[in-house]
Structure 1
Amino acid sequence: MKADQPAAKAPRGAARGGAPARTARAAGPRGRSAATGGQRPSRPPRASAAGGLKALPTRLKRAWDRPLTAYYLVLGGSLLIIVLGLVMVYSASQIKALQYGQAPTFFFRKQLIAAVLGGVLMVIACRARLRLHRAFAYPLLACTVFLLCLVQVPGIGQTINGNTNWLSLGGPFQLQPSEFAKLALVLWGADLLARKQDKKLLTQWKHLLVPLVPVAFLLLGLIMLGGDMGTSIILTAVLFGMLWLAGAPTRLFAGVLGVAGVLAVLAIKTSANRMGRLACIGATDPGPHDQCWQAVHGIYALANGGWFGSGLGASVEKWGELPEPHTDFIFAITGEELGLAGTLSVLALFAALGYAGIRVAGRTEDPFVRYAAGGVTTWIMAQFMVNIGAVLGLLPIAGVPLPLFSYGGSALLPTMFAVGLLIAFAREQPGARAALAMRQPVFSKKRAGAMNTMRRRVKKRPSGER
């Protein structure tokens, strides 16, 4: 073993100062050897672009299935719609305000106040417990019925554009109780169906229909007395959506739908104004007496916008040509000023909001959450489609605003409260609350890390040291 030790150490000595070491240094910079031809050693191959593209759908699907996806879609989508709506209300309402002898920001200021109040309601709805929402449903329904009856009292209810659905609150502020009827029906109907499901009563027709359908028809009758056909359509859609979520059989569903269809036909046939609106579907000419003026000029506004619009504030149709540019037909002004890109953005935001609502309703195990989330989603998406369909000339003009977007505090307040409900329900999804708890603000994490570092650096003092 001793004879072998010098032989083992020989290469080390040669490496330190002998000729082999000089040969290694002469091989080139950074130790390139002649064996590699003076070239840098090859690195491990990177992932190809084709492999990354193949893995992209999997990564997107994994990100889409995260617990907080619905929460961020509802919160972000609704806030973007509200902010963009405020911008478009300011742009579309300036000329109308000047025509009324008001400041150009008159309608915008009122909408901004409603948005701030709606934000407070959204936070309250988001933070309140489910049992408070369920308890709130009954006084809200009773108060809504009372206000709808009060509207029909001569001298109290106000008539605007042929509809008697308004109450004066003093000054420029007015209230439309029929807008709150949607929220009342959703909350009360969800609580009613959830209680009956807990008692396993929804398998019987009488418990499925009574008292949900009679109360809904009571609200519809009071609203139709004022001539508001548009709100009645939305309320009917909410009723059908909740019956479908409750598992109504096809025969029962078709029967209720048939009765509602007959009542709708009678309501249209008995009104010349509604018959005229029905005749303007797909119109390209104002027609005799300009009965299709609004529908045709809505199409003109969309056509003038092109791909990217004429610019914010540069609409031509809002200069007295298009009636109601800041309410029912604000989507047409959006298309004229922001173009196809702007309108597609609005459609994408509403599509994301609708998907999130369906996802919340489909993944929950709480029956109240399922019915309430389904009712709110049906309400917002049905009103969205009726408004967009009227602007595009595919549906008759029903006089309903674009939710969260059009001018109107009476429509904005209950809708923002309903969005707050969706946010609260999305936070209760499986895994969502734990995921939110893990996502602390950055400054909180840094502060906690600094405090832990300071605790480790502090040495323990002896017991007698002061």
Structure 2
Amino acid sequence: MARSRPARAPRPAGRATPGGPRRPRGGPGGLRGLQLRAKRAWDRPLTAYYLVLGGSLLITVLGLVMVYSASQIKALQNGLAPSYFFRKQLLAAAIGTVLLLAAARTPVRLLRALAYPLLAGSVFLLCLVQVPGIGETINGNTNWISLGGPFQLQPSEFGKLALVLWGADLLARKQSKKLLTQWKHLLVPLVPVTFLLLGLIMLGGDMGTTVVLTAVLLGLLWVAGAPTRLFSGVFGVTAVLAVLFIKTSANRMSRLECIGATDPGVNDQCWQAVHGIYALANGGWFGAGLGASVEKWGELPEPHTDFIFAITGEELGLAGTLSVLALFAALGYAGIRVAGRTEDPFVRYAAGGVTTWITAQAVVNIGAVLGLLPIAGVPLPLFSYGGSALLPTMFAIGLLIAFARDEPGARAALAMRQPGVRWKTMRRRVKKRPSGER
């Protein structure tokens, strides 16, 4: 007669089975396993490369869609075709793509050789803007040069790229000579040349671009390892100059007074700031729908340039604006990662400068739309309408792509993905069999 076996007690969760691996609590698909997989994916060599490439592409494409939606009424009010501004932005994006690909393929040595000519050309064009009959005034700022017909050039946008490349080359050469340990070599001639650019731009009244250039200067000094005392001194001087420029301009003072405004105020001086908030409030969680904005019908000035983020919030809602913020955050993280992992000083300073430029300009633009900062008149990078802003920014993105691709781990990973490389590598790993063995 067979005896019945006693029932076994259930095995506690998380303990290893005999002959099998020990499993974490929650199973292979638990929270801990998900965290491990996410960490491995985040630490892959090509993460920064894909973040820069994918993030910039999505921002540019979404920007084209929103430029088309936000600019139709403005074009009709000016007696133009509804797609007028979109077609110009699409042409600028096509030229910018060529510049991006060229920057991604340009050797570092050639980039360093272009730094000084680009800086000299930017200074010359900024001086040319102030010549009567050549410079054009738009919205109170004299920072444009007419190229004939509907095309215009804003030299201050190219000054940002020039400062990044020239400053990176200057600091890299001084680091090779071990001169950055002395404060005078950290400041001279980087700070005087930057102040020259700032002065030429301020002659035209463009306070927003001077803020971005100042951020680039501080970013370069930070990446170069400037002492806190020296860094604070430069920041203090620029803050005093900023207060002086604001106090001496009634227009800038009125913009400062519109921070957090909920009413247009006397003479509607806060009209744009308040209607930007109205647009965001109308959007709700998921927006009124693409093309369904109310504020772009003449209520919100500059809906396709400085305040395109407000139209995005009205038509795509909080979900759309958070998506844009996430893309810029990913782009900023990728730039910091590239600057932190490279061994080339020029690449480190250039990547840090480009990242500071794009993130600082995005913060200034979005902060103004949200009513947290004064309206500075700077476009949202890669997103707002404007070819003069889009072209140098796409070239800078090409630099980040090149730098991210040239990381040692990224180079090896990309080489493995070329056709035939993986098969040849596998053949080299297979041991040869003795003669006659089948």
Same fold (TM > 0.5): yes
Q: Which residue of 1 aligns with 2:234?
A: 256
- Taking the aligned partners of 1:422 and 1:181, their CA distance within structure 2 comes to 18
Q: Choose which of 401, 406, 413 in structure 2 pairs with 1:423.
A: 401
- Taking the aligned partners of 2:20 and 2:176, their CA distance within structure 1 comes to 60
- 1:84 maps to a residue whose letter is L
Q: Choose which of 41, 50, 56 in structure 1 pairs with 2:27.
A: 50
Counterpart secondary structure, 1:158: strand
- Taking the aligned partners of 1:49 and 1:439, their CA distance within structure 2 comes to 35
Q: Choose which of 130, 135, 141 in structure 1 pairs with 2:119.
A: 141
The Cα shift of 1:430 comes to 2.3
- 1:251 maps to a residue whose letter is R
- 1:404 maps to a residue whose letter is L
Structure 2 residue 222 is the aligned partner of structure 1 residue 244: yes
Q: Which residue of 1 aligns with 2:382?
A: 404
- Taking the aligned partners of 1:255 and 1:341, their CA distance within structure 2 comes to 41
- Taking the aligned partners of 1:410 and 1:224, their CA distance within structure 2 comes to 18
- 2:156 maps to a residue whose letter is S
Structure 2 residue 212 is the aligned partner of structure 1 residue 234: yes
Q: Which residue of 1 aligns with 2:3?
A: none
- Taking the aligned partners of 1:205 and 1:64, their CA distance within structure 2 comes to 37
Structure 2 residue 399 is the aligned partner of structure 1 residue 385: no
Worse overlay, 251-260 or 306-315? 251-260
- Taking the aligned partners of 1:396 and 1:219, their CA distance within structure 2 comes to 22
Q: Which residue of 2 aligns with 1:154?
A: 132
Q: Which residue of 2 aligns with 1:311?
A: 289
8 A Cα contact 2:416 2:422, kept in partner: no
- 2:144 maps to a residue whose letter is W
Q: Which residue of 2 aligns with 1:217?
A: 195
The Cα shift of 1:50 comes to 3.4
Q: Of Structure 1 and Structure 2, which has the larger fraction of its residues in helix?
A: 1
- Taking the aligned partners of 2:139 and 2:34, their CA distance within structure 1 comes to 53
- Taking the aligned partners of 1:281 and 1:56, their CA distance within structure 2 comes to 43
- Taking the aligned partners of 1:282 and 1:45, their CA distance within structure 2 comes to 62
Q: 1:45 to 1:366 in 2, by over 3 A?
A: closer
Is there any run of 5+ residues in structure 1 with no aligned partner, and where?
Answer: 1-43, 449-466
Pick the structure with greater CA Rg. 1
TM-score (norm: length of structure 2): 0.90
- Taking the aligned partners of 2:170 and 2:312, their CA distance within structure 1 comes to 40
The Cα shift of 1:391 comes to 0.2
Runs of 4+ deviating beyond 4 Å: 44-49, 444-448
The Cα shift of 1:405 comes to 0.2
- Taking the aligned partners of 2:230 and 2:164, their CA distance within structure 1 comes to 20
Identity across the alignment (%):
84
Is there any run of 5+ residues in structure 2 with no aligned partner, and where?
Answer: 1-18, 425-438
Structure 2 residue 269 is the aligned partner of structure 1 residue 291: yes
- Taking the aligned partners of 2:421 and 2:229, their CA distance within structure 1 comes to 58
- Taking the aligned partners of 2:293 and 2:385, their CA distance within structure 1 comes to 17
Structure 1 residues 380-415: Cα deviation after superposition (integer angstroms, max 9, x where no partner): 000000000000000000000000000000000000
8 A Cα contact 2:415 2:421, kept in partner: no
TM-score (norm: length of structure 1): 0.85
Q: Which residue of 1 aligns with 2:63?
A: 85
Q: Which residue of 1 aligns with 2:427?
A: none
Q: Choose which of 150, 157, 165 in structure 2 pairs with 1:172.
A: 150
The Cα shift of 1:447 comes to 11
Figure out how many residues of one structure are paired with residues of the other and give that number. 405
- 2:396 maps to a residue whose letter is A
- 1:150 maps to a residue whose letter is L
- Taking the aligned partners of 1:344 and 1:440, their CA distance within structure 2 comes to 36
Counterpart secondary structure, 1:336: helix
The Cα shift of 1:49 comes to 5.3
**Root-mean-square deviation over aligned CA pairs:** 1.8
